[in-house]
Structure 1
Amino acid sequence: MKSLGRHILVEFHGCSSEILNDVPCIESSMVNAAKESGATIISSVFHHFSPFGVSGVVVIQESHLAIHTWPEYRYAAVDLFTCGDSVNPWTSYKILKQAFQAEHGSAVEINRGQLDLLEKASIELGELRNEATQQLIVPKYSRSVWFTDRNENMALSIRHKGDCLFREKSPYQTVEVFDTFEYGKLLAVDKMVMCSEKDEKAYHEMIIHVPMVIEPHVKNVLVIGGGDGGSIREILRHAHVERVTMVEIDEAVVRASKEFLPSLSSAFDHPKLKLIIDDGIEYVKQSPENHFDMIVVDSSDPVGPAEGLFSKEFYQDVYRCLRPGGVMTAQSESPHFNQKAFVELNHCLKEIFDPKSVFCYLAFIPTYPTGMWSFTYCTKGGKHPVTDLDQQRSQQISKEFNLQYYNSNIHGAAFCLPTFISTMLGE
């Protein structure tokens, strides 16, 4: 060999867009390509850029394999650099072309560090102390694969163990489950975090117990969305509830939660639950007037199948089928991450409900972008969520249910909005 290394610059065209946007698939393909070429793998680091694109590198003892993808153009740029003559980078090229289902691949090889242009320096390494230090120690292979939830201006990345435990492209969305190092199993829909085992209680305890502490006689509950099962789990802790109807549009979310998130999905077999796999918007439209004591809109972000859950028409139907004195809660986005949807939903609800019966409150959820998340409490001529709070009942429920986030002090404090949010909402 007349050079220190071989550097192959690769372009793959006409690839599968789905594969180029799949972090675990790309990472496993790159690792496999390195192994088959004869390389010794040291580590791998991969990031997803929502909604499109993956960047990553496999560090090998002989140098590296790197990639960046543009799924929207079905294009990937790959960088294969190997030192010495023990690794054949062209083997990696062939494997990756097949793995990405590329229609066409082009590559140029550059010899790096041509020996006839280099002068070897004499380096004094010192006397080695024992025979053990003379042996080559192969580093332990480590993986660093990241899930990223982002918009055009900010992002949240969470490291997971590399493999996707569940992945299904349903008629509505792509549902995935990852095993993260810090937050346990994580459910994602269309590359957006829905919940994680470690911090889901903040979301589910606040969306459910805030209204249920205020309204102790709730018997008939409707949940729109909430396919992970966390909301119905919290509702069915309350013995006075007689029936819960849950309408989830995507059966894949329920199935993924049942298989991989048992701590959330434990109530799916409860005898008081009626699970309907259908469109919640149409279900509410067909529901009778004054029928439900409480309605929970546990939706994902306002894109795809959940977009209609942020419309005026939907909430007019919610209001119609809520009984007088009834209560509704909805997840209402982040004041930082999705300010437009947050403000528009608040104004929409104030047009439908009495403006004095609409209250924004906050919780802090680390795996959601920016950490700050909002809910909105609305009543149909019912109780005020703070002035009508029964402190003793709140404390009793928190203790009896062994709640991890909600308590009587949090209940009141959650409605104390920072000045910038009150200003944002025009309050």
Structure 2
Amino acid sequence: MASLGRHIIVEYYNCSSEILNDVVHIEKSMEGAAEDAGATIINSTFHHFSPYGVSGVVVIQESHLAIHTWPEYGYASVDIFTCGDTVNPWVAYQILKEKFEAGHGSAVELLRGEKALLKERDFDIKAMRDEKSSEEGSPIRTRDVWFTERDDKIALSLKHDGKLYDVQSDFQKVEVYKTQAYGNLLTLDGMVMTSEKDEYVYHEMITHIPTLTHPKPKRALVIGGGDGGTARELLRHDCYDEVVMVEIDDKVIEACKEHLPGIASAFDNPKLNLIVDDGIKYVKDAADGSFDIVIVDSTDPVGPAEGLFTVEFYKEVYRILSDDGIMITQSESPRFNSKVFKEIYQVYRSIFGQDQVHCYLAYIPTYPTGMWSFSYSSKGKAHPLKDFNAEESKAFAKKHGLKYYNEGIHQAAFALPSFVAEMIS
């Protein structure tokens, strides 16, 4: 062979968009192509980006295969670089074309490292051996696959061992990843919703603060909350006669029952009335004053949740609350989604009254910036801090072994950083 290596620069057109956005499929296809071409795999690293796109590389003993995909165009760019004459890069080219269901592909081959221009040098191979290699010098194979949620300013990446659930519902893409740091992780349209390791922060804070400050709650409504965590926490309280949960997407419920059972543990509770329907429609049809607490456990204001961030919807929630009723919402990150955060507090106060709306914070590591806010809007005399029974809260948290909420956190959550207080003043 007159050169050290062969380099094929590849473009695949009119590929399956679904395949090009499936990081696990791409990883397996790239590794399979490398092995079938005769290569020895040392390491693979792949990242899935939100909402779409995959980048990755398979490091082989003979060099590498690298890829980046644009699912929105059905296009993939691939580099196949092999050293020596034991690997046939064109075998990998043909396999990937089939795996990506490409309409057509194009490739240019370059010969890299012309031997006529090179002179081989002598050096001590033992002194340069990688510590991770065995004594015989054989490489140790490793694997890195990453899910990445990002926008143009911020990103969160989590290493995972594959997808456990992947369904396009009538409303959104529902996926569950088996992450190494946070356990099973639910995403909707590529956005992190909840994980096994940190879900308790969100679910304890969105439920126990209103329940422990309402005079006597009997009936609660949860809009959204398809993972089941909010219902689970509400039903720790004996005071409720009924908890109604209205989730629009049955695939979210299915995914969480199968792969996040610790969060979805209350779906069989006899006090839970689970309704798969449009929460906006349900609220509009509900009777005046029919709920003591309404929790809007929604995703970000996009897709099926967009209608949950409107003046009309919040007015309807106000109507169906009892005289001392409380509305709780997840109200976005003050740092990450500042515009929405400020606007919705103006809306809440225009409906409930200037002094009837309160903001509180919790810290959730898998959410953008970690800082996350909740709103507490009171229709009557209920207040999050006045007449708060710290001893009752302490006893409740201890009895149920809560991991985040306690009497101190309850009070401290309403002590806002100055920049947050100024945003909603």
Secondary structure in 2 aligned to 1:415? coil
2:84 aligned with 1:84 = yes
Distance 1:247 1:280 in 2: 6
2:341 aligned with 1:342 = yes
What is the CA RMSD across the aligned residues, in angstroms? Answer: 1.6
Q: Taking structure 1 as reference, are residues 362 and 2 closer, same or farther at Cα in structure 2, changes over 3 Å only?
A: same
**Do the aligned residues in 1 keep the contact of 2:213 with 2:382 (CA within 8 Å)?**
yes
Secondary structure in 1 aligned to 2:32? helix
Q: 1:123: how far off?
A: 2.6
Q: 1:138: how far off?
A: 3.8
Q: Taking structure 1 as reference, are residues 392 and 351 closer, same or farther at Cα in structure 2, changes over 3 Å only?
A: same
Secondary structure in 1 aligned to 2:212? helix
Q: 1:375: how far off?
A: 0.5
Provide the TM-score with structure 1 as the length reference.
Answer: 0.96
Q: Find the counterpart in structure 2 of residue 242 from structure 1.
A: 241
Q: Taking structure 1 as reference, are residues 371 and 14 closer, same or farther at Cα in structure 2, changes over 3 Å only?
A: same
Distance 1:43 1:335 in 2: 40
- Code of the residue aligned with 2:338 in structure 1: it is Q
Q: 1:35: how far off?
A: 1.7
User: CA offsets, 1:124-183, max 9 Å, x none?
Assistant: 44799xxx97734241x222111111222111111111x210000001000000111111
Distance 2:237 2:420 in 1: 32
Q: Find the counterpart in structure 1 of residue 372 from structure 2.
A: 373
User: CA offsets, 1:217-263, max 9 Å, x none?
Assistant: 21111100000010000001111111111000000000000000011
Q: Find the counterpart in structure 2 of residue 170 from structure 1.
A: 169
Alignment of 1:16-95 (within 5 A): 16-95=16-95
Deviates more, 1:248-257 or 1:29-38: 29-38
Distance 1:255 1:397 in 2: 30
Q: Find the counterpart in structure 2 of residue 251 from structure 1.
A: 250
Q: Find the counterpart in structure 1 of residue 138 from structure 2.
A: 137
**Do the aligned residues in 1 keep the contact of 2:215 with 2:324 (CA within 8 Å)?**
no
2:105 aligned with 1:105 = yes
Deviates more, 1:164-173 or 1:144-153: 144-153
Q: 1:209: how far off?
A: 0.5
**Do the aligned residues in 2 keep the contact of 1:327 with 1:382 (CA within 8 Å)?**
no
Q: Find the counterpart in structure 2 of residue 422 from structure 1.
A: 421
Q: Taking structure 1 as reference, are residues 352 and 126 closer, same or farther at Cα in structure 2, changes over 3 Å only?
A: closer
Distance 2:143 2:418 in 1: 43
User: CA offsets, 1:356-375, max 9 Å, x none?
Assistant: 11111100000111111111
Secondary structure in 2 aligned to 1:214? coil
Alignment of 1:155-194 (within 5 A): 155-161=155-161, 163-194=162-193
**Do the aligned residues in 1 keep the contact of 2:324 with 2:378 (CA within 8 Å)?**
yes
Distance 1:215 1:245 in 2: 17
**Do the aligned residues in 2 keep the contact of 1:150 with 1:369 (CA within 8 Å)?**
no
Alignment of 1:293-312 (within 5 A): 293-312=292-311
Unaligned residue ranges in structure 2 (runs of 5+) = none
Q: 1:382: how far off?
A: 2.7
Aligned residue pairs: how many?
421
Deviates more, 1:145-154 or 1:403-412: 145-154
Distance 2:265 2:293 in 1: 21
Q: Find the counterpart in structure 2 of residue 408 from structure 1.
A: 407
Q: 1:292: how far off?
A: 0.4
Distance 1:85 1:388 in 2: 79
Alignment of 1:106-125 (within 5 A): 106-125=106-125
User: CA offsets, 1:102-132, max 9 Å, x none?
Assistant: 111000011111212211123344799xxx9
Distance 1:396 1:229 in 2: 24
User: CA offsets, 1:7-51, max 9 Å, x none?
Assistant: 110011111222222222222221121122121111111112222
Unaligned residue ranges in structure 1 (runs of 5+) = none
Distance 1:379 1:52 in 2: 40
User: CA offsets, 1:161-218, max 9 Å, x none?
Assistant: 1x21000000100000011111111000000000000000000000001111112521
**Do the aligned residues in 2 keep the contact of 1:149 with 1:369 (CA within 8 Å)?**
no
Secondary structure in 1 aligned to 2:193? strand
Q: Find the counterpart in structure 2 of residue 219 from structure 1.
A: 218
User: CA offsets, 1:54-91, max 9 Å, x none?
Assistant: 11111111111111111222211101111111111111
Q: Find the counterpart in structure 2 of residue 2 from structure 1.
A: 2
